[in-house]
Amino acid sequence: MSKPRIGIYGLTSCAGDQLVLLNCEDELLDVLSAVDLRSFVMATSQNPEGELDVAFVEGAVTQDSDLELLRDVRTRSKLLIAIGTCAVWGGIPYLSGRGVPISQHVKVDYSLPGCPIEKKQLLSALSSLIHGDLPLKLPYPVCLECTIRENSCLLQAGEICCGPLTAGGCGARCPSHNRPCLGCRGPSLDPNYQAATKILAKHGYDVEDVHRKLALFSGTNSSKEGRQVG
């Protein structure tokens, strides 16, 4: 089996997701020996580019140069993987009104959300891709891991916790530190914005405030569903 040709690219973003890969110190050599790295501008100046098997793209599309790069990568790559909430949902750049997720412009084969992405999921995804499989999807919201950690529920206690609306996989990091989930991993598979809004309205929150909070990271999805409910 020949090594998969891989490229890693950043559009408008903080480069935090690419950094997660660079921070995989113990595994980085294994990763590099298992792939044929064709492009990773953040890490090296030697980038032969060319045809790719898998392209990882971070960041939202906010400007012409993003779109140009994205289209070029898409035509050269068999699979395109969106990494990070900005690439997957528009994330923070979406709030400026100019940033859109890459799926608005090109076909995305797999999404790995997170702000930043989780190291464990990145390595699992890479391992699956190297083996020739699409990575597993995590179908559950933050509440699963939160409950398994036996945290008492912040939403029940009347805080704006985005856990039930947010894709799990972070180990419920914030609620485990008694901080409500901000939703940085973007929408879960089955977010019920109406139900969440109803609960928070009962707790006395202003519906507009709730929508603003819920929309912080959920980009296009929030505009479709979240803001509609009021």
Partner 1 sequence: MKTVVLPRENLEPFLGRIARGHDLIVPKKTGNDVVFDYYQEGCQIALEYRRTLLPPKKFFLPPEEVLFRYKKGQGFTEPEPEVGRRVFFGLHPCDIHALKRLDYVFLEGYVDTYYRRRRERTLIIGLSCLPDDKCFCHSMGTDLVSDGFDLFFTDLGEVYLVEVGSTSGNDLVLTHRDLVSEVVDEAILKEYKTFISTRSDLFVQTLDTSGLSKILTLEWESPFWEKVAQDCLACGRCSMSCPTCYCFSIYDQVNLDSISGERSRSWTSCLYKDYALVAGGHNFRPSRGARLRQRLMHKHKDFFEQQGVSACVGCGRCQANCPAGIDFCQVLTSLRGDISESAVG
Contact residues toward partner 1 (CB under 8 A) are 1, 27, 30-31, 34, 123-124, 126-128, 130-131, 133, 136-137, 139-141, 143-144, 147-148, 150, 152-153, 155-156, 161, 163-165, 189-190, 192, 194-196, 198-199
Question: 175 touches which of partner 1, ligand SF4, none (CB within 5 to 8 A by kind)?
Answer: ligand SF4
Nearer to ligand SF4 (CB atom), residue 135 or residue 163: 163
Q: Does residue 6 sit in helix, strand or coil?
A: strand
Residue 7 binds ligand SF4, judged by CB under 6 A: no
Neighbours of 22 (CB within 10 A): 13
Q: For partner 1, give the closer residue by CB, 64 or 150.
A: 150
CA distance 179 to 161: 8
- For residue 153, state whether it binds ligand SF4 (rule: CB under 6 A): yes
Integer angstrom CA distances of residue 1 from 5, 72, 132: 12, 26, 10
Residue pair 82/55 in contact by the 8 Å Cβ criterion? no
| Segment contacting ligand SF4 by CB under 6 A, of 6-14, 26-34, 89-97, 145-153 | 145-153
From ligand SF4, partner 1, none, which one binds at residue 172 (CB under 5 to 8 Å depending on kind)?
Answer: ligand SF4
Minimum distance from CB of 112 to partner 1 (Å)? Answer: 15
Site for ligand SF4, residues 159 to 198, rule: CB under 6 A: 161, 163-164, 172, 175, 181
Helical ranges in the chain per DSSP H? 16-22, 25-34, 64-76, 85-89, 91-95, 119-131, 142-148, 173-176, 193-202, 207-215, 219-221
The residues, any chain, with a CB within 8 Å of residue 147's CB and separated by 6 or more, are none
Question: Which of helix, strand or coil describes residue 152?
Answer: coil
Closer of 124 and 223 to partner 1 (Cβ)? 124
Per partner kind, with CB cut-offs from 5 to 8 A, the member of ligand SF4, partner 1, none near residue 203 is none
Residue list 50-89, contact with ligand SF4 (CB under 6 A): none
Of 166, 172, 167, residue with least CA distance to 148: 172
Shortest CB 192 distance to ligand SF4, Å: 8
By a kind-dependent CB cut-off of 5 to 8 A, residue 176 interacts, out of partner 1, ligand SF4, none, with none
Q: Of 64-72, 122-130, 147-155, 209-217, which part binds ligand SF4 (CB under 6 A)?
A: 147-155
Other residues' Cβ atoms within 10 Å of the Cβ of residue 98: 13
- With beta carbons less than 8 A apart as the criterion, state whether 59 and 12 touch: yes
The backbone region for 183, taken as left when phi is positive above 0, alpha when psi lies in -120 to 50, beta otherwise, is left
CB 175 within 8 A of CB 146: yes
Please give the residue ranges that form the binding site for ligand SF4 (CB under 6 A). 142-143, 146-147, 151, 153-155, 161, 163-164, 172, 175, 181
